[in-house]
Structure 1
């Protein structure tokens, strides 16, 4: 994992963006934020197990579907299965040790 501080590439309202193997962060202090880093590590694992490009295709399609379902951008984002898995488990620092393959499907 490579942390890159860049306040210009992160969309407004977000703190980070994971593009395997990079984690782009908006705020320098997040480099030491264990919960934030764990959340992004979960995304790295998701991207790796889906061979990166299919991850982003699924992510975008699921986001559009959820956005249309909820008619709300933020609710659409928060209900993407990848995000639900990451948010739900970001405080469990042993999660990646016990995480099953394709675990995000439990959050669909």
Structure 2
């Protein structure tokens, strides 16, 4: 359903951000003034995920999965990288055509 149109994305330069990018539909907060294409694609994948799950459910799921992964891996960065939303985004952020071929709820494949 959402693959037919380009996702709205408002990029906000946020130099004090502790990560490279952070998405809260429709805003993408980026630490760099000129973020690389792969990062914008990564954040667009998160925008699609947020539309599918709903913003509130996305963040509840994200935080709960992070906590489970933190117990599982006992390492913050490894826990973050193994969240299903992040696994999908990192696996596909270098493919500029991914969102046009992505199936709905594709993040479940990475769970």
| TM-score, normalised via structure 2 length | 0.90
1:34 Cα shift? 1.1
1:83-103 CA distances to partner (integer Å, 9 max, x unpaired)? 000000001111000100100
For the residues of structure 1 that align with 2:98 and 2:34, how far apart are their CA atoms?
23
What are the residue-to-residue correspondences of 1:40-59 with 2, within 5 Å?
Answer: 40-59=43-62
Match of 1:73 in 2: 76
Larger RCO: 1 or 2 (CA < 8 Å, sep 6+): 2
Match of 2:24 in 1: 19
Gaps of 5+ in 1: none
How many residues end up aligned between the 2 structures?
103
Q: Secondary structure at the match of 1:28?
A: coil
| TM-score, normalised via structure 1 length | 0.93
For the residues of structure 1 that align with 2:49 and 2:105, how far apart are their CA atoms?
7
1:29 Cα shift? 2.1
1:51 Cα shift? 1.1
Q: Secondary structure at the match of 1:29?
A: coil
RMSD: 0.7
For the residues of structure 2 that align with 1:18 and 1:79, how far apart are their CA atoms?
18
For the residues of structure 2 that align with 1:93 and 1:73, how far apart are their CA atoms?
29
In the alignment, does 2:12 pair up with 1:4? yes
Moved over 3 A (4+): none
